[in-house]
Amino acid sequence: MDDKKICFIICVNNYNYEKEQMRYLNRLNIPQGYDVEILTIREAISMTSGYNEGMNSSTAKYKVYLHQDVFIVNENFLYDMLEVFKDEHIGMMGMVGAPKLPENAIMWNGPRVGKLYFNMIYQSGESVIGEIEGTYQEVEAIDGLLMATQYDILWREDLFTKWDFYDISQSQEFIRKGYKVVVPNQRSPWCIHDDGFFDLKNYYDARETFLGEYGKKC
């Protein structure tokens, strides 16, 4: 494992998003002595399988799993990420998270923390989802728009075979292994999420799978 290497892993099916995202990634300030690589995974059959492919293809200690429609506007993101990961007990961080996952496992139904610039069909702007005191806040789940890790844990492609609940599952996998999952304190949002609209076609089936594996109640 190369502890001076950072890898961005992105499942891609939209060239326009990919091209725009690269503009933002290429503007990031790179800490001295570190190398950065970008892996784009095409034709993935699920988010978990795509992320496992990327994870197993890179020797980087630090990996940033990123939606194709997320654009990092904090040019010092890599410095800030490494600062968070100075705490070896922190396994994963995200931009938005739930300090306590609701019993029904739907993160949107409970209090969340973090900040984000967003762009949806009907509105756009800055969303202060929940303020954080201190350097970071520990959470039970983070949103999959951006998930940065300093340890490799397999994504549960045996359970989540499409595009939902992979993020909450991975949060629980890190916690099972004894690591903290956190949301950092952002003075202003570090990312833009151009998330359009929600496709919930397979969401509730994935939720049932999650509840069966991780023990939350309906």
Average confidence score pLDDT of the chain: 91
Q: What percent of the chain has pLDDT over 90?
A: 80
51-80 pLDDT tens trace: 999 999 999 999 999 999 999 999 999 999
Residue 199, both tokens: 């496709």
- Count how many domains the chain has: 1
**pLDDT at residue number 121:** 45
Q: What is the pTM of this model?
A: 0.93
Give residue 197's pLDDT band: very low, low, confident or very high (50, 70, 90): low
pLDDT of residue 217: 45
Query: Can you read off the two tokens belonging to residue 177?
Result: 């292994």
| pLDDT confidence of residue 120 | 52
Beta carbons within 10 angstroms of residue 136's beta carbon: 21
Q: What is the CATH number of the domain that holds 15?
A: 3.90.550.10
- Predicted confidence (pLDDT) per residue in 95-149, tens digit: 999 999 999 999 888 899 999 997 654 444 456 578 898 999 999 999 999 999 9
The CA-atom distances, in angstroms, between 67 and each of 30, 50, 87, 99, 138 are 21, 12, 25, 22, 22
pLDDT band at 184 (very low <50, low <70, confident <90, very high): very high
Q: How many residues does the chain have?
A: 218
- Picking from 80, 85, 111, the residue whose alpha carbon sits closest to that of residue 98 is 111
Contacts of 118 (CB under 8 A, 6+ apart): 124, 125, 126, 127, 192, 193, 194, 195
* CA terminus-to-terminus distance, the chain: 40
Q: What is the pLDDT of residue 123?
A: 47
* Pair 110, 100: CB distance under 8 Å: yes
**Domain span holding position 108:** 2-214
Would you state the pLDDT for residue 183?
97
Distances (CA, A) of 182 to 32, 94, 201, 204: 25, 7, 29, 25
Q: Which residue has the tokens 């892993």?
A: 9
Model pLDDT, residue 22? 96
The enclosing H or E element of 16 equals helix 15-25
Query: Among 164, 178, 212, which residue's Cα sits nearest to residue 46?
Result: 164
